[in-house]
Amino acid sequence: MTRIAVTGAAGRMGKVLIEAIDEADDLTLGAAIVHPESSLIGADAGEMAGIGKNGVALAGNVGDVKDAFDILIDFTFPDLTLENLAFCSEHGKAVVIGTTGMTDAEKEQVRLAAEKTPVVFAPNMSVGINVMLDLLHKAASALGDDYDVEIIETHHRHKKDAPSGTALRLGEAVADALGRDLGECAVYGREGFTGERSRDEIGFETVRAGDVVGDHTVLFATMGERIEITHKASSRMTFAKGAIRAARWLQGKPAGLYDMQDVLSLKD
The domain tally of the chain equals: 2
Work out the average pLDDT over 141-147.
97
Q: What is the DSSP string of 86-151?
A: HHHHHTT-EEEE------HHHHHHHHHHTTTSEEEE-S---HHHHHHHHHHHHHHHHHGGGSEEEE
Known binding site: residues? Answer: 8-13, 98-100, 122-125, 156, 165-166
From 155, 216, 231, 241, active-site residue? 155
Instruction: Dump pLDDT digits (tens) for 26-53.
Output: 999 999 999 999 999 999 999 999 999 9
pLDDT grade, residue 268 (50/70/90)? low
Average pLDDT over residues 50-72: 96
| Domain contains 252 | yes
Can you give the CATH number for the domain in which 74 is found? 3.40.50.720
Binding-site residue positions for (S)-2,3,4,5-tetrahydrodipicolinate: 156, 165-166
Annotated catalytic residue 116: no
On whether residue 95 sits in a domain, the answer given is yes
Per the domain annotation, does 268 fall within a domain?
no
Range of the structural domain that residue 131 is part of: 127-233
Q: What one-character-per-residue DSSP string does 40-71 give?
A: TTTSBHHHHHTS---S-BEES-GGGGGGG-SE
What confidence tens digit (pLDDT) does each residue in 125-142 have?
A: 999 999 999 999 999 999
Q: What is the mean pLDDT of residues 54-60?
A: 96
Whether 155 is catalytic: yes
